[in-house]
Amino acid sequence: MNRIRITVAGCAALVGLALCGCGGAQTGDVTGRVTYQGKRLAFGSVVFMARGEKSEPVVCAIGPDGTYTAKGVPVGEVQVGVASPDPRTPLELRGDQKPLPLAADPKLWFPIPTQYSYPLTSGLSRTVTAGPNTHDIELK
């Protein structure tokens, strides 16, 4: 009888250990400020993409004060992209889509090099840890 209890307890422990790794991938929340040549970006988005993994990119908006907050960024080294399209240029809409209101005063917008728009070509990367992270992004 004791042998059965020990066997059952051992199997339960092994199953428990195996299930520990079945949770979703760890993520962190990233906040920071985006600047280009020392001036804050007042419009655009930041994209985080895990290196070498088939994961969805995490995209967040840049606020009028140049800050951003990205939730659920994969832990580890991530590639970063920053896009700041001209807010005066109307977006192409599909079907029933309605135009979004401008998020920033167009007078505060200025162009940045397009190389920064794509995480794979931007040359920007950060290391994200589980929990809160602060990463300011200075574009040159």
Q: Is residue 66 part of a domain?
A: yes
Q: Is residue 9 part of a domain?
A: no
Q: Residue 41 sits in which domain range?
A: 25-88+101-139
Q: Is residue 12 part of a domain?
A: no
CATH of residue 116: 2.60.40.10
Number of structural domains, the chain? 1
- Residue 80: strand, helix, or coil: strand
Instruction: From first to last of the 140 residues of the chain, give the pLDDT tens digit.
Output: 444 443 333 433 433 434 444 557 899 999 999 999 999 999 899 999 998 767 799 999 999 999 999 999 999 999 999 999 988 877 666 677 665 555 567 888 999 999 999 999 999 999 999 999 999 999 99
In this structure, the dihedral spanned by the alpha carbons of residues 30, 33, 35 and 39, taken in order and rounded to 10 degrees, is 170
Q: Is residue 15 part of a domain?
A: no
